[in-house]
Structure 1
């Protein structure tokens, strides 16, 4: 997936929050698509926050440290996330805090992350696990990505290792997410899609065994009535396309772009939610400002038969 050397990058603009208090688990359990009771001191889970109509308001990464539950989400989602959750606290003993003033987030991305050359960040956790290393939480999202989070004072000794390269890709973290088929909701795409359209059932971001949560009726109905008619596909293009750009097939709109990132060759890789049909090799185009052919690229997971 990556043949570039590991890079440590600053992710300070990402959303970083914490849910504190003895009711934090039960509170989040009633709000998110994920069964948060499955969080352990070693794992992490993906989840979505939905509207009552089942549309995704935010996509989240959750992990647990002691009694606290930490939340990571894309840039620009802090106010949207907290303003949506806080009115539901009512009498629950829960406090939701924005950690950006006191915490720092870095990302390690690239090939050979377990190489001995990374002597300054040794013994990374296995994929799907996280650990506490000198007060820094290290979450191994994939073979090619590690999220590093902690109090700013603890994170400072990593700062000299931040990458100064100007070589492409300019956004290796976002590129890795696209190649992993991880469609994250941003302010530009909030409330446009239901979780299955973003393939969140395929990455383990939805529990169909847990109790009620906001939007569950729509999410469950889509699941139990059969295969979703829309899915997120990965494409290659020569030019950048903003989130929300129409995806066309035979001149008709069949979907929308939800992520687009430049790659190592200064071309672009994107994720788009599209209507599926029985065509074996459908031809797609991006619709702005003039049409451009899109080449379908593989995802690391398969759609249900």
Structure 2
């Protein structure tokens, strides 16, 4: 499992936890006798050896839940996902559940299906038939949380924010009742930002080699697993030290920011070189802990952090304050 957030501490009132629908998340099933070997040859992380998790059990720890990426032949991330091996029952074929951004679920499933060939595998985007929701609670509450017999649950890394540890569970269930919990939804979105674990969306497809958004530092790449699309470029980036950009956390204390400026893919500009972009937004959300604060995951040139200001959206845009990461970066 990826490291927990150890450093993020924000002052403010504690938002409510609970269960909420996550409309921005989708779900892909990859199932069949050859599903494991098929995915092993497609993804940045290993799926072989994942423990089977049967409902109503919740998959947890690196032995059952893994972050993974799907790259183009040029080594750029087309998608990222949280994955668990969740067959329908004990006697069923393997079924891998990939929790992914809903806006890229259909195209990702279609692309994966192109490479099935003669393998005994089905790739199915079930985002319209299955609803993804999220549960947030204390570490103890999350450990006691139960899901329904037909649901799939994945426990994500805890996040420390406002001096409290928050547990998170992704849940998928076929045609469940919609759970409207605005406060919990706001909290989930902000905790995802503060985890500093990126999620590829439509606005950031094919923008990053995995290391540019710290994927290797949050256990999203297995450099010993063998070939997959883009593997040679990803490995070369790791061992030749050519990465000059990284993912960082940041914030802006201004409630007047247009939501369009917080969308993934919005460019960043550095005051010392305003003529060209210095990076882009990966994910963003209003803070659940502080009024008027907007939290960001951004990909940025390392040299831009050495001095000067980083502006959002344009060279005259609001200044982004850079915050510390909750985990150490693997040196490249």
Pick the TM interval, shorter chain: 0.7 to 0.9
Pair 106,279 (structure 1): closer, same or farther in 2 beyond 3 Å: closer
Q: TM-score if structure 1 supplies the norm length? A: 0.85
TM-score, normalization by structure 2: 0.78
Mapping 1:152-301, distance limit 5 Å = 152=175, 155-156=176-177, 162-165=179-182, 171-226=186-241, 228-237=243-252, 238=254, 239=257, 240=259, 241=261, 242-249=263-270, 250-252=272-274, 253-264=277-288, 265-277=291-303, 283-288=309-314, 290-301=316-327
Tell whether 2:77 aligns with 1:51: no
Quickly say closer, same or farther: Cα 1:197–1:16, change in 2 above 3 A.
same
Deviates more, 1:195-204 or 1:33-42: 33-42
Q: Could you tell me how far apart the structure 2 residues matched to 1:217 and 1:300 are?
A: 29
- Matched residues in 2 for 1:81 and 1:149: separation? 18
Relative to 1, partners in 2 of residues 1:170 and 1:93: Cα closer, same or farther, differing over 3 Å? closer
- Structure 1 unaligned blocks of 5 or more: 116-120, 125-130
Matches within 5 A, 1:124-163: 124=145, 134-143=149-158, 144=166, 145-152=168-175, 155-156=176-177, 162-163=179-180
Structure 1 residue 25 displacement after superposition: 0.7
SS at match of 2:112: helix
Q: How many residues align?
A: 285
Which gives a bigger RCO, structure 1 or 2 (Cα 8 Å, sep 6+)? 2
Shift of 1:246: 2.1
For residues 233-289 of structure 1, give each alpha carbon's deviation from its aligned partner in whole angstroms, at most 9, with x where no partner exists.
111012352322222222433211121211131321111111113965653222338
- C-alpha separation in 1, matches of 2:123 and 2:219: 24
Verify: 1:28 aligned to 2:39, yes or no.
yes
RMSD of aligned Cα (Å): 2.4
Q: Which runs of 5+ in 2 are unaligned?
A: 1-7, 53-58, 88-93, 159-165
What do the CA deviations read for 1:208-230 (whole angstroms, capped 9, x no partner)? 00111000011000011126211
Contact 1:227 1:304 in 2 (8 A): no
Aligned residue for 2:303, secondary structure, equals coil
Match of 1:102 among 113, 129, 133: 129
Alignment partners' CA distance in 2, 1:219 and 1:122:
36
Task: Determine the structure 1 residue equivalent to 2:22.
Answer: 11
Task: State how far apart, in whole Å, the 2-side matches of 1:123 and 1:227 are.
Answer: 44
CA distance in 1, matches of 2:225, 2:157: 26
Aligned mates of 1:149, 1:188 — CA distance in 2: 24
8 A contact 1:245–1:288 mirrored in 2: no
